[in-house]
Structure 1
Amino acid sequence: MTHLSEALAHTADAAEALTVDLVDAVTTRGWRVATAESLTGGNVATVLSAAPGATSWFVGSVVSYSPEVKFGLLDVPRGPVVSAECAAQMARRTGELLGAELALALTGVGGPAPDEGEPAGTVWFAVAHPDGVRTVREVFDGDPPQVLTTAVARGLEILTAVAAHGPDAPVGHT
Protein backbone atom coordinates (compact mmCIF):
# COMPACT_ATOMS: atom_id res chain seq x y z
CA MET A 1 0.00 0.00 0.00
CA THR A 2 1.25 3.50 -0.75
CA HIS A 3 1.53 6.20 1.91
CA LEU A 4 -1.58 7.90 0.53
CA SER A 5 -3.68 4.74 0.40
CA GLU A 6 -2.63 3.82 3.96
CA ALA A 7 -3.51 7.30 5.17
CA LEU A 8 -6.86 7.20 3.40
CA ALA A 9 -7.63 3.79 4.90
CA HIS A 10 -6.85 5.17 8.36
CA THR A 11 -9.00 8.24 7.65
CA ALA A 12 -11.89 6.02 6.56
CA ASP A 13 -11.62 3.99 9.77
CA ALA A 14 -11.58 7.14 11.91
CA ALA A 15 -14.47 8.61 9.92
CA GLU A 16 -16.71 5.61 10.58
CA ALA A 17 -17.70 6.83 14.06
CA LEU A 18 -18.29 10.34 12.75
CA THR A 19 -20.53 9.14 9.96
CA VAL A 20 -22.75 7.33 12.47
CA ASP A 21 -23.43 10.68 14.17
CA LEU A 22 -23.79 12.43 10.81
CA VAL A 23 -26.21 9.82 9.49
CA ASP A 24 -28.31 10.16 12.64
CA ALA A 25 -28.38 13.97 12.39
CA VAL A 26 -29.37 14.08 8.73
CA THR A 27 -31.79 11.17 8.62
CA THR A 28 -33.81 12.37 11.62
CA ARG A 29 -34.24 15.72 9.82
CA GLY A 30 -34.80 14.21 6.38
CA TRP A 31 -31.86 16.17 4.97
CA ARG A 32 -29.66 15.44 2.00
CA VAL A 33 -25.89 16.04 1.95
CA ALA A 34 -23.55 17.12 -0.85
CA THR A 35 -19.89 18.08 -1.09
CA ALA A 36 -17.79 20.47 -3.15
CA GLU A 37 -14.15 19.48 -3.02
CA SER A 38 -11.02 21.09 -4.35
CA LEU A 39 -7.81 19.93 -2.67
CA THR A 40 -9.42 16.72 -1.36
CA GLY A 41 -10.42 15.68 -4.89
CA GLY A 42 -13.55 13.74 -3.96
CA ASN A 43 -12.16 11.90 -0.95
CA VAL A 44 -14.85 13.22 1.42
CA ALA A 45 -17.47 11.97 -1.02
CA THR A 46 -15.77 8.57 -1.02
CA VAL A 47 -16.12 8.31 2.76
CA LEU A 48 -19.72 9.55 2.74
CA SER A 49 -20.78 7.21 -0.05
CA ALA A 50 -19.55 4.24 2.01
CA ALA A 51 -21.60 5.26 5.08
CA PRO A 52 -24.70 3.33 6.16
CA GLY A 53 -27.77 4.20 4.09
CA ALA A 54 -25.87 6.74 1.98
CA THR A 55 -28.26 6.29 -0.93
CA SER A 56 -31.01 7.89 1.13
CA TRP A 57 -29.11 11.04 2.20
CA PHE A 58 -25.89 11.57 0.17
CA VAL A 59 -26.74 13.10 -3.20
CA GLY A 60 -23.31 13.69 -4.71
CA SER A 61 -20.24 15.83 -5.07
CA VAL A 62 -18.68 18.44 -7.31
CA VAL A 63 -14.91 18.11 -7.60
CA SER A 64 -13.87 21.65 -8.44
CA TYR A 65 -10.10 21.27 -8.42
CA SER A 66 -9.61 23.90 -11.13
CA PRO A 67 -10.37 27.55 -10.37
CA GLU A 68 -12.28 27.67 -13.67
CA VAL A 69 -14.74 25.06 -12.38
CA LYS A 70 -15.23 27.12 -9.22
CA PHE A 71 -15.82 30.30 -11.25
CA GLY A 72 -17.94 28.74 -14.00
CA LEU A 73 -19.99 25.97 -12.39
CA LEU A 74 -20.14 27.14 -8.77
CA ASP A 75 -20.40 30.89 -9.45
CA VAL A 76 -17.44 31.74 -7.22
CA PRO A 77 -16.46 35.36 -7.95
CA ARG A 78 -13.09 35.64 -9.67
CA GLY A 79 -10.38 36.21 -7.12
CA PRO A 80 -8.63 34.15 -4.48
CA VAL A 81 -9.84 30.56 -4.26
CA VAL A 82 -8.20 29.89 -0.90
CA SER A 83 -10.65 31.98 1.12
CA ALA A 84 -13.74 31.89 3.29
CA GLU A 85 -15.74 33.57 0.52
CA CYS A 86 -14.78 30.92 -2.03
CA ALA A 87 -15.55 28.02 0.34
CA ALA A 88 -18.90 29.54 1.34
CA GLN A 89 -19.99 30.04 -2.28
CA MET A 90 -18.84 26.54 -3.21
CA ALA A 91 -21.01 25.12 -0.41
CA ARG A 92 -24.05 27.30 -1.17
CA ARG A 93 -24.02 26.65 -4.92
CA THR A 94 -23.40 22.92 -4.58
CA GLY A 95 -26.34 22.64 -2.21
CA GLU A 96 -28.51 24.47 -4.74
CA LEU A 97 -27.31 22.44 -7.74
CA LEU A 98 -27.68 19.07 -6.04
CA GLY A 99 -30.76 19.78 -3.92
CA ALA A 100 -29.03 19.26 -0.58
CA GLU A 101 -29.89 20.92 2.71
CA LEU A 102 -26.28 20.47 3.89
CA ALA A 103 -23.26 20.99 1.67
CA LEU A 104 -19.63 20.80 2.76
CA ALA A 105 -16.96 22.60 0.73
CA LEU A 106 -13.19 22.38 1.08
CA THR A 107 -10.62 24.54 -0.70
CA GLY A 108 -7.00 25.15 0.16
CA VAL A 109 -3.30 24.71 -0.39
CA GLY A 110 -2.17 21.11 -0.11
CA GLY A 111 1.44 22.06 -0.64
CA PRO A 112 4.29 21.65 -0.77
CA ALA A 113 4.56 25.37 -1.67
CA PRO A 114 2.43 28.33 -0.55
CA ASP A 115 -0.24 29.67 -2.91
CA GLU A 116 -2.19 32.93 -3.04
CA GLY A 117 -0.18 34.16 -0.06
CA GLU A 118 -1.41 31.27 2.08
CA PRO A 119 0.99 28.74 3.60
CA ALA A 120 0.96 25.11 2.52
CA GLY A 121 -1.55 23.21 4.63
CA THR A 122 -4.15 26.02 4.70
CA VAL A 123 -7.69 24.72 4.25
CA TRP A 124 -10.96 26.62 4.26
CA PHE A 125 -14.08 24.62 5.11
CA ALA A 126 -17.67 25.78 4.68
CA VAL A 127 -20.95 24.09 5.48
CA ALA A 128 -24.13 25.48 3.94
CA HIS A 129 -27.01 24.74 6.33
CA PRO A 130 -30.68 25.82 6.15
CA ASP A 131 -29.90 28.43 8.85
CA GLY A 132 -26.70 29.85 7.34
CA VAL A 133 -23.15 29.08 6.28
CA ARG A 134 -20.32 28.21 8.66
CA THR A 135 -16.71 28.73 7.59
CA VAL A 136 -13.59 27.46 9.36
CA ARG A 137 -9.91 27.99 8.51
CA GLU A 138 -7.26 25.47 9.52
CA VAL A 139 -3.55 25.16 8.79
CA PHE A 140 -2.28 21.58 8.88
CA ASP A 141 1.29 20.31 9.04
CA GLY A 142 2.60 17.62 6.74
CA ASP A 143 3.23 16.75 3.14
CA PRO A 144 0.40 17.01 0.58
CA PRO A 145 -1.00 13.49 1.24
CA GLN A 146 -1.04 14.18 5.00
CA VAL A 147 -2.80 17.52 4.47
CA LEU A 148 -5.38 15.81 2.25
CA THR A 149 -6.21 13.06 4.75
CA THR A 150 -6.29 15.47 7.69
CA ALA A 151 -8.58 17.81 5.73
CA VAL A 152 -10.95 14.93 4.94
CA ALA A 153 -11.22 13.96 8.61
CA ARG A 154 -11.59 17.56 9.78
CA GLY A 155 -14.22 18.27 7.13
CA LEU A 156 -16.27 15.33 8.39
CA GLU A 157 -15.97 16.62 11.97
CA ILE A 158 -17.19 20.09 10.97
CA LEU A 159 -20.00 18.71 8.80
CA THR A 160 -21.18 16.45 11.64
CA ALA A 161 -21.15 19.27 14.21
CA VAL A 162 -23.08 21.64 11.94
CA ALA A 163 -25.56 18.93 10.94
CA ALA A 164 -26.30 18.13 14.58
CA HIS A 165 -26.21 21.62 16.09
CA GLY A 166 -26.52 24.25 13.34
CA PRO A 167 -24.07 26.72 11.80
CA ASP A 168 -23.12 28.20 15.18
CA ALA A 169 -22.08 24.81 16.59
CA PRO A 170 -18.73 24.62 18.35
CA VAL A 171 -16.45 22.78 15.96
CA GLY A 172 -13.34 22.55 18.12
CA HIS A 173 -9.87 23.10 16.78
CA THR A 174 -7.20 20.72 15.58
Structure 2
Amino acid sequence: MSSPIHHLRDAARERGLTVAVAESLTSGLLASEVGKGEAAGEWFSGGVVAYRMPVKTHVLGVPDGTDPTSPECATALATGVRALLDADVAVSTTGVGGPDDEDGHPAGTVYLGWATADDAGAEHFRFDGEPEDVLAATVDHAVRLLVRLAEAERRRA
Protein backbone atom coordinates (compact mmCIF):
# COMPACT_ATOMS: atom_id res chain seq x y z
CA MET A 1 0.00 0.00 0.00
CA SER A 2 1.27 3.45 -0.92
CA SER A 3 1.98 5.92 1.86
CA PRO A 4 0.62 9.47 2.04
CA ILE A 5 4.13 10.75 1.24
CA HIS A 6 4.09 8.76 -2.02
CA HIS A 7 0.70 10.26 -2.87
CA LEU A 8 2.05 13.73 -2.11
CA ARG A 9 5.13 13.15 -4.25
CA ASP A 10 3.04 11.86 -7.14
CA ALA A 11 0.52 14.71 -7.00
CA ALA A 12 3.22 17.37 -6.72
CA ARG A 13 5.38 15.95 -9.50
CA GLU A 14 2.51 15.30 -11.91
CA ARG A 15 1.25 18.86 -11.51
CA GLY A 16 4.64 20.53 -11.16
CA LEU A 17 3.73 21.89 -7.71
CA THR A 18 5.98 23.00 -4.91
CA VAL A 19 5.11 22.39 -1.27
CA ALA A 20 6.08 24.25 1.91
CA VAL A 21 5.38 23.85 5.62
CA ALA A 22 5.38 26.12 8.67
CA GLU A 23 5.64 24.47 12.04
CA SER A 24 5.12 25.56 15.58
CA LEU A 25 3.67 22.57 17.41
CA THR A 26 5.63 19.94 15.48
CA SER A 27 9.03 21.71 15.59
CA GLY A 28 10.36 20.28 12.32
CA LEU A 29 8.78 16.82 12.45
CA LEU A 30 6.50 17.61 9.49
CA ALA A 31 9.33 18.91 7.31
CA SER A 32 11.35 15.83 8.17
CA GLU A 33 8.48 13.57 7.12
CA VAL A 34 7.79 15.45 3.88
CA GLY A 35 11.50 15.52 3.09
CA LYS A 36 11.55 11.72 3.11
CA GLY A 37 9.54 11.73 -0.11
CA GLU A 38 11.32 10.47 -3.19
CA ALA A 39 12.88 13.31 -5.23
CA ALA A 40 11.75 15.81 -2.57
CA GLY A 41 14.29 18.28 -3.92
CA GLU A 42 12.10 18.66 -7.00
CA TRP A 43 8.85 19.53 -5.19
CA PHE A 44 9.51 20.33 -1.51
CA SER A 45 10.51 23.99 -1.15
CA GLY A 46 11.19 23.62 2.57
CA GLY A 47 9.84 24.69 5.90
CA VAL A 48 10.08 27.18 8.70
CA VAL A 49 9.97 26.27 12.38
CA ALA A 50 8.41 29.25 14.11
CA TYR A 51 7.96 28.24 17.72
CA ARG A 52 8.04 31.63 19.47
CA MET A 53 5.49 34.35 18.64
CA PRO A 54 8.12 36.94 17.57
CA VAL A 55 9.28 34.50 14.87
CA LYS A 56 5.70 33.86 13.79
CA THR A 57 5.14 37.60 13.57
CA HIS A 58 8.41 38.83 12.07
CA VAL A 59 9.18 35.97 9.68
CA LEU A 60 5.74 34.69 8.66
CA GLY A 61 3.52 37.72 9.15
CA VAL A 62 1.23 36.51 11.91
CA PRO A 63 -0.48 39.66 13.25
CA ASP A 64 0.59 40.86 16.69
CA GLY A 65 -1.79 39.69 19.41
CA THR A 66 -2.96 36.60 17.52
CA ASP A 67 -3.67 33.61 19.76
CA PRO A 68 -0.98 31.06 18.79
CA THR A 69 -3.52 28.26 19.20
CA SER A 70 -6.15 29.50 16.79
CA PRO A 71 -7.37 29.10 13.23
CA GLU A 72 -6.21 32.66 12.54
CA CYS A 73 -2.65 31.83 13.53
CA ALA A 74 -2.64 28.57 11.58
CA THR A 75 -3.94 30.30 8.44
CA ALA A 76 -1.43 33.15 8.74
CA LEU A 77 1.44 30.69 9.21
CA ALA A 78 0.48 28.76 6.07
CA THR A 79 -0.05 31.92 4.03
CA GLY A 80 3.23 33.37 5.27
CA VAL A 81 5.36 30.33 4.50
CA ARG A 82 3.73 29.91 1.09
CA ALA A 83 4.72 33.47 0.20
CA LEU A 84 8.17 33.32 1.83
CA LEU A 85 9.17 30.10 0.04
CA ASP A 86 7.25 30.84 -3.17
CA ALA A 87 5.37 27.53 -2.95
CA ASP A 88 2.14 26.48 -4.62
CA VAL A 89 0.65 24.83 -1.54
CA ALA A 90 1.51 25.12 2.14
CA VAL A 91 0.40 23.66 5.44
CA SER A 92 1.11 24.80 9.00
CA THR A 93 0.87 23.23 12.44
CA THR A 94 0.07 24.97 15.71
CA GLY A 95 -1.53 23.95 18.98
CA VAL A 96 -0.95 22.41 22.38
CA GLY A 97 0.89 19.10 22.47
CA GLY A 98 0.55 18.62 26.21
CA PRO A 99 0.75 17.07 28.63
CA ASP A 100 -0.80 20.15 30.24
CA ASP A 101 -3.33 22.70 29.03
CA GLU A 102 -1.88 25.99 27.81
CA ASP A 103 -3.41 29.48 27.76
CA GLY A 104 -6.91 28.09 28.19
CA HIS A 105 -6.53 25.49 25.43
CA PRO A 106 -6.73 21.80 26.33
CA ALA A 107 -3.77 19.55 25.59
CA GLY A 108 -4.26 17.94 22.20
CA THR A 109 -5.84 21.03 20.60
CA VAL A 110 -4.40 21.33 17.09
CA TYR A 111 -4.94 23.65 14.15
CA LEU A 112 -3.64 22.88 10.69
CA GLY A 113 -3.49 25.87 8.41
CA TRP A 114 -3.40 25.65 4.63
CA ALA A 115 -2.82 28.02 1.74
CA THR A 116 -2.98 27.85 -2.03
CA ALA A 117 -2.88 30.57 -4.68
CA ASP A 118 -6.66 30.93 -4.44
CA ASP A 119 -7.62 30.30 -0.84
CA ALA A 120 -6.48 29.70 2.73
CA GLY A 121 -8.00 28.36 5.90
CA ALA A 122 -7.59 26.11 8.90
CA GLU A 123 -8.84 22.81 10.26
CA HIS A 124 -9.32 22.06 13.96
CA PHE A 125 -8.48 18.74 15.62
CA ARG A 126 -8.46 17.35 19.14
CA PHE A 127 -6.02 14.47 19.65
CA ASP A 128 -5.74 12.33 22.75
CA GLY A 129 -2.66 10.73 24.26
CA GLU A 130 0.81 11.68 25.33
CA PRO A 131 2.59 14.58 23.61
CA GLU A 132 4.33 12.15 21.25
CA ASP A 133 0.94 10.77 20.20
CA VAL A 134 -0.42 14.27 19.56
CA LEU A 135 2.62 15.17 17.46
CA ALA A 136 2.45 11.95 15.43
CA ALA A 137 -1.27 12.45 14.74
CA THR A 138 -0.63 16.07 13.78
CA VAL A 139 2.09 15.14 11.28
CA ASP A 140 -0.07 12.39 9.80
CA HIS A 141 -3.06 14.70 9.34
CA ALA A 142 -0.86 17.49 7.96
CA VAL A 143 0.64 15.21 5.30
CA ARG A 144 -2.84 14.03 4.35
CA LEU A 145 -3.96 17.66 4.09
CA LEU A 146 -1.02 18.40 1.79
CA VAL A 147 -2.06 15.46 -0.39
CA ARG A 148 -5.64 16.78 -0.63
CA LEU A 149 -4.39 20.26 -1.54
CA ALA A 150 -1.96 18.97 -4.14
CA GLU A 151 -4.56 16.69 -5.68
CA ALA A 152 -7.07 19.55 -5.84
CA GLU A 153 -4.49 21.75 -7.56
CA ARG A 154 -3.74 18.93 -9.99
CA ARG A 155 -7.42 18.57 -10.91
CA ARG A 156 -7.64 22.27 -11.71
CA ALA A 157 -4.78 22.06 -14.19
Tell me if both proteins adopt one fold, taking TM over 0.5 as the criterion.
yes
- Distance in 1 (alpha carbons) for counterparts of 2:5 and 2:121: 19
Which string of whole-angstrom CA distances, capped at 9 and with x for unpartnered residues, describes residues 3-61 of structure 1?
xxxxxxxxxxx9x6101111121112211111000110111110111111100000111
Is 1:48 aligned to residue 34 of structure 2? yes
Q: Quote the residue 1:138 is aligned against.
A: 125
> Any idea what SS the aligned residue of 1:73 has?
helix
Kept in 2, the 8 Å contact 1:39–1:106? The answer is: yes
Gaps of 5+ in 1: 1-13, 167-174
Q: Quote the residue 1:65 is aligned against.
A: 51
For residue 126 of structure 1, the aligned residue among 110, 113, 117 is 113
Return the TM-score normalized by structure 1.
0.83
Kept in 2, the 8 Å contact 1:105–1:126? The answer is: yes
> Any idea what SS the aligned residue of 1:146 has?
helix
Q: Quote the residue 1:147 is aligned against.
A: 134
Q: Quote the residue 1:5 is aligned against.
A: none
Kept in 2, the 8 Å contact 1:129–1:163? The answer is: no
> Any idea what SS the aligned residue of 1:90 has?
helix
Cα drift, residue 165 of structure 1? 2.2
After TM superposition, the runs of 4+ consecutive aligned structure 1 residues lying more than 6 A away are none
Matched length: 152
Gaps of 5+ in 2: none
Return the TM-score normalized by structure 2.
0.92
- Distance in 1 (alpha carbons) for counterparts of 2:148 and 2:63: 28
Cα drift, residue 163 of structure 1? 1.5
Q: Quote the residue 1:17 is aligned against.
A: 3
User: Percent same amino acid at aligned positions?
Assistant: 39
Q: Quote the residue 1:83 is aligned against.
A: 70
Cα drift, residue 129 of structure 1? 1.2
- Distance in 2 (alpha carbons) for counterparts of 1:139 and 1:118: 10
